[in-house]
Amino acid sequence: MHRIKKLRMMALENKICYDEFFYKFFKCYSNSPKTSKEDCYAEAFCFAFSNLTPSISEDELIVGKCNKKLFPAEECEWLNKYLTIAQEESKKAGAGQGSHMAVDYELILNCGLNGIIDKINIYLLNCDDSKKEFYLTCKKCLEAVIGFSERYADEAARQSENSTDANRCKELKLISEICRKVPANPAESFYEAIQSVHFITFCLSLNPFRYCSQQFQLGRPDRYLLPYYLKDIKNGVITKEYAQLLLDCLGIQINNRVPNGLSSGYMVGGRDENNNIVANELTVMCMQVVDDIRLVYPSVGLCYTEEMDDMYLEKACEIISHGCSHPAIFNDHIITKGLECYGIPEIEAHNYIHSTCVEITPVASSNVWVASPYTNMPQLLLDILDKEYTDIDELLATLFANLDTRIKSNFESENEDRKYRSENSMNPFLSCFVNDCLERGTDIEQGGARYNWIMPSFVGMANLVDSLYALKQIVFDLKELSIKEFKTILDSNFENNEIFRQRLLNSISKYGNDIDEIDCLFGKITEHIVSECKKYTGIHTNGNLIPSVFCWIMHEHFGRQTGATPDGRKAGFPLGDGSGPCQGRELKGPTASILSSTKWAHHELIGGVAVNMKFSKKSLGRHSLDTMKSLIKTYIKRGGFEMQINVIDKETLENAVINPEEYRDLVVRIGGYSDYFVKLSPEMQEELILRTEHII
């Protein structure tokens, strides 16, 4: 573990910098004499990868990262000229999501890039002239990445010649041999497969027309890596311990590829295309990475089914109990059911990925725009509190009308962005690994992917439900205030009305306490959202509008913008963190919270449902893991989509606020993703501290 400790510390200190790639790409691109945009792109892509500096750090076994700073003259040229061009091209490419997906790793491992080039050559023989430029650009991009890998091989060989450590010299020679072989050719060993997977994902992160961070996921490694692992173990090529080391190194490289504050990882478990349980030695080892490296990535999801052996859920709970923020637990049955509702055939519906936080997209076939956009649900309510209503039903009807208008306008905006991007952007390298881009001869940005969903997310649902119930009680049932009088109090942020605010917080029942009258409001709203979203279809094939109810960091962002709400929340405070109760409001324990969170259907909210729970670390006892496992099973059995758990004490978080330098690697679960606690805003830190801490 000495190697992993050194590598994780390097990853904590590492400053991810892709400036060298973008500088070299746009220097060539902007000065290219080529006539077409595709030709300019291909030439610049090849130039950038041909001149990008390979980086291999001490003790690394899996290689491929960017952290080289530009020389002073280059940096001056970059900042004063080419950075502006990069930003302009990114702006031309348009808004919208990217990289929230997993590519076809089985294709990469089975065929290698040379095999994909062979496929392209066949397509070139049979395509019309309108497709040739696309195929030729794809081919040149693949060749550029093969050349880049060979340069890594050269660098590893050079370092081996200069190394005075015999063991490291041997490692570097092996790295050189592997980089000379993959990803150009099919992988034949476990080590080759992992190196190939990482190298392609790293290169995909260098997207010239998206000058922003990329966060590609690694799909299902306990499926595509298993044949290599079993063969190498059987033949004595590797030990289980060495295989775990390689997986740990892969996990660390995710942190060298994706800046913190985002989300990148993989899923394990679930069922395969034949409906058989996927649970094996690699399932456990891929989860163990979280415990071994203790960094913000990988974001790991265990796809759980009731038929799965208990040992896999027990392993997940054990890792979580150590204070790790992963694995998150996903309900394979519910997610598969939801995917089939949206037309995914069963043979594909078992092969999905949480494309960053909890958004579900089919592996190898997606260009899905997740969280596009986020909608502030409590604000929609505040916007209509400008008149009186006869009863709660009339208020709800007006709220739904306001919501419908927002869904429509947001969809139209996203659809226009899709159209604009289709006309102005391209990503030929990515297109090589996504169904059905090569088959159609169509770039992923022009709609070549099999699934092109748009996934809006609706934030602050628990605040909305609690606010509606408070209005029902105070205005319509007890008739203590009119809407206007209530709104006046909210507009003043409860000034001189603290007693009333405390009554709202503590005397009016809240979502999360197994009260049907309140919980059913959540279901009524989500049913309406699902129904309304089904009315819309985007410009590309399979462009469904598919909703979600999670938040990433948007509950804090929206909270800062949102005035006081009828649930007793003061202006500026973060909204609820997902699909569960608001901070500190589940007063009847975790079971009641789970019951409330599963009284409404989750399966059609494929855009993601996130339920957060926090358990006290200091109270963990001999039977705590069994209790945690039982709670998760109850949630899954009742149709819960996803559960994520923090096992940490309030005191630890408070100490981290005071002494951040002592807790810089403290990872916490937020609203679908994880982040380093000390890097969060003060408002987000306070929100996490206030979450209910259950004792089990």
How confident is residue 696, by pLDDT bands cut at 50, 70 and 90? low
CA neighbor of 200 nearest in space, from 364, 375, 327, 401: 364
pLDDT for 619 equals 65
Give pLDDT tens digits for 123-178.
999 899 999 999 999 999 999 999 999 999 999 999 999 999 999 999 999 999 99
Flag whether pLDDT at 277 surpasses 70.
yes
pLDDT for 501 equals 97
Tell me whether strands 642-647 and 328-331 are parallel, antiparallel or unpaired. Answer: antiparallel
Dihedral of alpha carbons 435, 137, 209, 207, sign: positive
Burial of 620 (0-12, 13-18, 19+ CB in 10 A): middle
In one-letter notation, the amino acid at residue 329 is I
Flag whether pLDDT at 117 surpasses 70.
yes
Give pLDDT tens digits for 607-662.
999 998 888 777 677 778 899 999 999 999 999 999 998 888 888 888 889 988 88
Burial of 281 (0-12, 13-18, 19+ CB in 10 A): middle
Average pLDDT over residues 553-575: 95
* 74: three-class secondary structure by DSSP: helix
Average pLDDT over residues 347-367: 96
Flag whether pLDDT at 232 surpasses 90.
yes
Higher-pLDDT residue of 423 and 669 is 423
Global pTM reads 0.95
The chain-wide mean pLDDT, for the chain, equals 94
pLDDT for 426 equals 96
How confident is residue 692, by pLDDT bands cut at 50, 70 and 90? low
Angle at CA 522, nearest 5°, toward 598 and 518? 90
Omega into 428 within 30° of 0, i.e. cis?
Answer: no
pLDDT for 566 equals 98
Q: Of 429-438, 607-616, 672-681, give the range with the top mean pLDDT.
A: 429-438
Residue 31 C-beta-side C-alpha neighbours within 13 Å: 9
CA distance 184 to 60: 21
pLDDT for 586 equals 86
Share of the chain above pLDDT 70, in %: 99
pLDDT for 404 equals 98
pLDDT for 544 equals 96
- Other CB atoms within a 10 A radius of the CB of residue 534 amount to 15
